[in-house]
Amino acid sequence: MRDSLRRIPRLVLRAILLLFAFLYFLIDLLFLSLLRPLRRRLMALRLMQRMHAWVGTLNRYAALLLLLVPWAILEPVKPVALYLFAHHHRGWATALMIGGEIVKLTLLDQVFEMTKPKLLTFRWFAWGYARWQAALTYLRSRPAWLRVRGWYRIIRAQLRQWLHSVR
């Protein structure tokens, strides 16, 4: 009985941490889905194409560093925004969260796509990336995901129709 009582705080803490991690990644996924059109436009720029060619000349350790440095600088934006929100600076927190996520996801997504071939030469990275892709495939096959995706398509079509009628 005592052992089960001792496990409860640990289980509660683990559940809270899992919820926090889920929400943390959910914010990234939501922003990423909204930023895809911007990402496509950025990749069409000649500067980005030249940068892509330059990244192809780097060794795998330099490619890893190229990905980790901006990530280490930009990733703390969310906790700082949450701190500001908790201290009643909701305007600044919202601006920091949105602006930081836009910069982080557009920049890091571009850099990741450029460095991915080099990073996949690391066995540990290839293993983790394969697990990540398997998890995404599994989630995308779930009925809840398919239902939400259908709602998203309906809302997007209605929004486009409304915008077209306004013009």
pLDDT at 131: 94
Q: What's the whole-number average pLDDT of the chain?
A: 83
Phi/psi region, residue 40 (left: phi>0; alpha: psi -120 to 50; beta: rest), is alpha
- The three-class DSSP label of residue 100 is helix
Q: Is it the case that residue 64 has pLDDT exceeding 70?
A: yes
Q: Which residues contact 43 (CB under 8 A, 6 or more apart)?
A: 49, 52, 110, 113
Q: Which of 58-72, 90-104, 110-124 has the lowest mean pLDDT?
A: 90-104
Segment 91-101 mean pLDDT? 86
Which pLDDT does position 27 carry in this prediction?
Answer: 66
Rounded mean pLDDT, 4-22: 75
106-154 pLDDT, tens digit per residue, is: 788 788 888 999 999 999 999 999 998 998 888 888 888 788 788 878 8
User: What SS3 class is residue 39?
Assistant: helix
Do residues 84 and 22 make contact, with C-beta atoms less than 8 angstroms apart?
no
- Give the pLDDT score at 102: 78
Domain boundaries defined on the chain: 2-121, 123-167
Which residues, 6+ apart, have CB-to-CB distance to 87 below 8 Å? none
